[in-house]
């Protein structure tokens, strides 16, 4: 089977978050299973790597690179000839880019059996695929980001026929909505965990699109497929960024090293690696800090909301038990998973999440809200789950953890259950192959 993935970013060439990681791991697993997986993303001005040009038409060109046996294609258009990935005018940029994807691939001789679009930036490509009777799957990685713009200004950017400019089509409360385009016109819609697939059909999590998603669910065309984890990159036994370990005894050396690195006292260490955002519950963590630091050291790696950044920076200046590092720091993130006792994920919603999977494999029980992918992947016998997105509920779960972390034998027996957990991509990839087969058979 020949599968074309379309997404706005793909590791290691462009990355702001987990979508980019999926775009290397899932295609690589599909390739390992004997299929031909290709990934298409924009050719950004500051793309990591230099693609080999394979097609050009005026000021539009297509290039390619290969990584882990996967073919990566990069489509360059004038709107992407500036630094950075995302900008305020992204609806215009990705509309102009999206309507060129299928004509350019056809002109360059790229052939595929099924198109798999990822998140709002690929929604328009899915709509154009429907017009060409190309089988397609569309995956929601985060429903909150939808690609919306006043439809009177933006519909002409899409290249779509006027009859799709309706409530049943791409119109959404007076806006063009590129996420909705993917939801409506894909042969099958997936999202990245079974629990999130149910949550997004409700007003609380549906971001206004719950009616569309309820329709897709009723049609049998909405599924939750949990994301996998790159288990070679995130393997404490072979991780070059930490002191490799196979047991909780080996982990203790990493705890000692992290304590020394950040000059922490003997209190247990709670770490967090996250984008600083309300969605991630970092405001909950912030509100709970006065109580948390009575029992825990807290080491946070993350950037994002400027107010949250400033607040955590202030705490780091004032408190000997709070440390905060900003930016993307791959090596430090590994040390925080390996060197902490517990890992904080107080998310308001979490479509899937990979941090909890990494933490489990590194023997670092998550303290997490029971939502989305966290509910699906954090075993009750290892992690500490809570229901309400409040500081009080988070502190109650931390209290349960604190009652055990001072009993090393009990704590280690619990934490080590995560070390052998299998979060590989093999199972999810096989499920996607089933879905591809279904949409191709229609």
Residue range 152-171, pLDDT digits in tens: 999 999 999 999 999 999 99
Low-confidence ranges of the chain (pLDDT < 70): none
What's the confidence (pLDDT) of residue 233? Answer: 87
pLDDT tens, 165-222? 999 999 999 999 999 999 999 999 999 999 999 999 999 999 999 999 999 999 999 9
Continuous H helices in 219-329: 248-261, 282-292, 306-318
- The tokens describing 246, both together, are 């196979």
Domain coordinates in residue numbering, the chain: 2-228+425-441, 248-418
- Fold observed for domain 248-418: Rossmann fold (3.40.50)
CA 303 to centroid of chain Cα atoms: 16
Query: Which helix H or strand E contains 90, and what residues bound it?
Result: helix 90-108
Instruction: Please enumerate in sequence order all residues whose Cβ is within 8 A of that of 127, keeping only pairs 6 or more positions apart, or say none.
Output: 158, 160, 164, 170, 181, 182, 184, 185
Fold agreement (2-228+425-441, 248-418): yes
Q: What is the pTM of this model?
A: 0.90
Helix axes 178-185, 210-218, angle to 10 degrees: 10
Query: Which helix H or strand E contains 175, and what residues bound it?
Result: strand 175-177
What's the confidence (pLDDT) of residue 230? Answer: 86
What's the confidence (pLDDT) of residue 404? Answer: 97
For 2-228+425-441, CATH number out of 3.40.50.12240, 3.40.50.1370, 3.40.50.2000, 3.60.40.10 equals: 3.40.50.2000
Q: How far apart are CA 418 and CA 234, in angstroms?
A: 13
What's the confidence (pLDDT) of residue 66? Answer: 93
Does residue 15 have a known ligand-binding role?
yes
Q: How far apart are CA 217 and CA 222, in angstroms?
A: 5
Q: How far apart are CA 47 and CA 41, in angstroms?
A: 10
What's the confidence (pLDDT) of residue 327? Answer: 82
């Amino acid at each position: 089977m020949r599968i074309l993935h379309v997404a706005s970013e793909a590791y290691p060439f462009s990355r702001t978050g987990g979508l980019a990681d999926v775009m290397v791991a899932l295609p690589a697993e599909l390739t390992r299973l004997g299929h031909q997986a290709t990934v298409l993303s924009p050719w950004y001005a500051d793309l990591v790597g230099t693609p080999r040009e394979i097609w050009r038409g005026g000021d539009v060109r297509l290039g390619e690179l290969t990584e882990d046996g996967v073919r990566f294609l990069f489509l360059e258009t004038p709107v992407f000839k500036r630094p950075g990935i995302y900008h305020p005018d992204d609806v215009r940029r990705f509309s102009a880019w999206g309507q060129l994807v299928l004509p350019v691939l056809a002109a360059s001789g790229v052939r595929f059996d099924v198109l798999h679009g990822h998140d709002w930036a690929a929604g328009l490509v899915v709509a154009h695929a429907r017009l060409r009777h190309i089988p397609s799957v569309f995956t929601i990685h985060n429903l909150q980001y939808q690609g919306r713009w006043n439809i009177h200004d933006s519909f002409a950017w899409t290249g779509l026929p006027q009859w799709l400019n309706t409530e049943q089509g791409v119109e959404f409360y007076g806006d063009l909505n590129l996420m909705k385009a993917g939801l409506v016109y894909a042969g099958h819609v997936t999202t990245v965990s079974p629990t999130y697939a149910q949550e997004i059909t409700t007003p609380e999590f549906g971001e206004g699109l719950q009616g569309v998603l309820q329709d897709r669910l009723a049609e049998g065309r909405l599924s939750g497929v949990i994301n996998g984890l790159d288990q070679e990159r995130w393997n404490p036994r072979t991780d070059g960024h930490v002191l490799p370990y196979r047991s909780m005894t080996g982990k203790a050396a990493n705890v000692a090293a992290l304590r020394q690195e950040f000059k922490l006292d003997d209190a247990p260490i709670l770490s967090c690696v996250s984008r600083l955002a309300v969605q991630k519950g970092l405001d909950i963590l912030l509100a709970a800090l006065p109580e948390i630091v009575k029992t825990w050291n807290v080491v946070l790696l993350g950037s994002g909301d400027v107010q949250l950044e400033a607040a955590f920076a202030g705490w780091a200046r004032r408190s000997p038990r709070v440390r905060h590092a900003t930016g993307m720091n791959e090596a430090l993130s590994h040390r925080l998973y390996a060197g902490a006792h517990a890992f904080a994920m107080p998310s308001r919603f979490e479509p899937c999440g990979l941090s909890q999977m990494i933490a489990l494999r590194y023997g670092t029980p998550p303290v997490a809200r029971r939502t989305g992918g966290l509910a699906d992947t954090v075993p009750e016998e290892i992690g500490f789950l809570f229901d309400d997105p409040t500081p009080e509920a988070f502190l109650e779960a931390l209290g349960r953890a604190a009652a055990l972390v001072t009993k090393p034998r009990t704590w280690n027996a619990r934490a080590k259950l995560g070390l052998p957990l299998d979060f590989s991509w093999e199972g999810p990839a096989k499920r996607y192959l089933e879905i591809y087969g279904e949409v191709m058979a229609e």
